[in-house]
Chain A
Amino acid sequence: MTSVLYDAPGPKARRLSRIISVLTALVVIAALAGLIWTLAAPRTTVSGAELPGYFDATRWNIFDREAVWIAIGRGVWGTLSAAGVAAVLALAFGVVLSLLRASELPAVRIPTTIVLEFIRGVPVLLMMLFILLVAGSGAYWAVVGALALYNGAIIGEALRAGIRSLPRGQREAGLSLGLSGLRTRFLIEFPQAFRQMLPIIIAQLVVLLKDTSLGYVVAYPEILFIVGGNMPDSYGSRYQFTFFVVTIAIYLAINLAVSALARFMSRRRIPLG
């Protein structure tokens, strides 16, 4: 790879680069080896009992139980169903917000801006608690509602930026054809803004998916709550690390897949019109 930041490496620079590469690799390998060694070492609990290291079979032997897999499945379903519904609602809310925010009437635009700033400034965790306690809607809708509101606000802003970045001629052409202002927005500007902002919107959906884990505050049964919290409680803390590894693996698998989709979408230029 060449970069404007440095010259094409000569023999001396290449040697230096190789030396640093080898050193980095050694450091990484040493860190991993240290971690594995720490994990493999037997440990004593506070009560003085001796437990085997984390690679011992007794740390992992719960995965032959059907109940464990059913619980994990329930957690994954909890996360995905909340994220799915929240994503749809967030998109719808984002579209409405961007339309209101780009309105020509100050009486519409200014209140929307204030609401938007408010939503963007409040932690999602607090919104979940607020919906749960004030609306009394149950954990599921507290999680979905808070995620939809917050991410809808972000998506709305992204869409508005997309509309603003279009050449002015697009809107003028729509209006001069005799379309009303709203129809110009929907038929001419919106489809282009949406395509342009698709990578940002998908990245925001990854954030939404990650944030479902905040549902622990309202005791919503998603992956982290079940696999990270509930299961070690019911099967014993000796499996805590095991369940943590499983949780992180599930999240990484889902999120990396969605991120890869985002990258694919941003590379693939969808032809306009």
Chain B
Amino acid sequence: MDVVLANFPAYIDAFLTTLRLLVVAGLAAFIIGTVVAAMRVSPVAALRAVSATYTELIRNTPLTLVLFFCAAVVPNLFGTFGMSLNPYYLAAATVALAIYTSPFVAEALRSGINGVPVGQAEAARSVGLGFGQTLTTVVLPQAFRMVVPPLINVVIALTKNTSVAAGFGVGELFLLGRRLANANGNAVIPILLGVVTFYLIITIPLGLIANRIEKKVAVLR
């Protein structure tokens, strides 16, 4: 317990790094995922094919491999874009997390789009809206609301996935836990429980919110 208290500022620091990874990668994944989902339901066959290929490829690749690609293979091919190594690894981890998470966002949104009652899209078309207008003004706003619980589950998974960034030395919670545990072999359990607590601070409230919204939506329909 003393080790945890003595390293409390380090915990907060690592927690903030985890949060930063989570927020930036989450927002990027949300944007990419929305575009991919829109392409997946679009009238243009080529866009559908590109989006389906992207989803299948990324979903069947382990996150560790995506991260390895961004952090080790890309610098080998293109250089580190003028960044020194540590900031580059942070950026690479963020990009890898965003790419890895985006197909899950896209699939959640697509199931939401399919879940919007058919009459909504028909009504929009019958008042003369095109595909883009139907999607952005009628279908997506309802789909977003319906997929909030599954999207929150994606965010929870992302929170836990940020720990993989430790593999390239990004100083987030898991790396801190491993370092402290290696340095203090006699206090492994409190150190790791401390790390777990910080993850639970993010994941448990999110889970509770998802449950509550799920119940509300279930009553509405």
Q: Which residue of chain A is the closest to B48 with respect to CB atoms?
A: A1
| Residues of chain B within 8 A of A6, CB atoms compared | 43, 125, 130-131, 134
A30 within 8 A of B: no
Interfacial residues of chain B within 33-88, with CB under 8 A of chain A in the complex: 41, 43-47, 50, 56-57, 59-65, 68-69, 72-73, 76-78
Q: Which residue of chain A is the closest to B193 with respect to CB atoms?
A: A130
| Residues of chain A within 8 A of B76, CB atoms compared | 240-241
Would A259 and B188 count as touching, CB distance under 8 A? no
| Residues of chain B within 8 A of A120, CB atoms compared | 156, 203, 207
Would A39 and B77 count as touching, CB distance under 8 A? yes
Would A206 and B78 count as touching, CB distance under 8 A? no
Q: Which residue of chain A is the closest to B41 with respect to CB atoms?
A: A5
- A20 and B204 alpha carbons, distance in the complex (Å): 44
B53 to chain A, nearest CB (A): 9
Would B43 and A17 count as touching, CB distance under 8 A? yes
Q: Which residue of chain B is the closest to A209 with respect to CB atoms?
A: B62
Would A123 and B199 count as touching, CB distance under 8 A? yes
- A3 and B121 alpha carbons, distance in the complex (Å): 10
| Residues of chain A within 8 A of B196, CB atoms compared | 121-122, 126
- The interface centre, meaning the residue of A20, A118, A129 with most chain B CB atoms within 10 A of its CB, is A129
Would B50 and A224 count as touching, CB distance under 8 A? no
A267 to chain B, nearest CB (A): 17
| Residues of chain B within 8 A of A133, CB atoms compared | 181, 188, 192
**Given known A125-B164, A251-B61, contact A20–B44 (CB-CB < 8 A):** yes
| Residues of chain B within 8 A of A9, CB atoms compared | 43
Would B118 and A129 count as touching, CB distance under 8 A? no
A213 within 8 A of B: yes
- A240 and B73 alpha carbons, distance in the complex (Å): 8
Top 8 nearest A-B pairs (CB, nearest first) are A21-B46, A255-B60, A121-B203, A123-B160, A123-B163, A24-B46, A210-B62, A213-B62
**Residues on A facing B (Cβ under 8 Å):** 1, 3-7, 9, 13, 17, 20-22, 24-25, 28, 38-39, 117-118, 120-126, 129-130, 133-134, 206, 210-211, 213-214, 216-217, 224, 228, 240-241, 244, 247-248, 251-252, 255-256, 259
What are 22 of the A-B contact pairs (CB < 8 Å)?
A5-B139, A7-B125, A24-B44, A24-B47, A121-B160, A121-B199, A123-B174, A126-B192, A129-B174, A133-B181, A206-B60, A210-B63, A211-B62, A213-B62, A213-B64, A214-B164, A216-B167, A228-B68, A244-B69, A247-B65, A248-B65, A251-B65
**Residues on B facing A (Cβ under 8 Å):** 41, 43-47, 50, 56-57, 59-65, 68-69, 72-73, 76-78, 113, 118, 121-122, 125, 130-131, 134-135, 139, 156, 160-161, 163-164, 166-167, 174, 177-178, 181, 188-189, 192, 195-196, 199-200, 203-204, 207
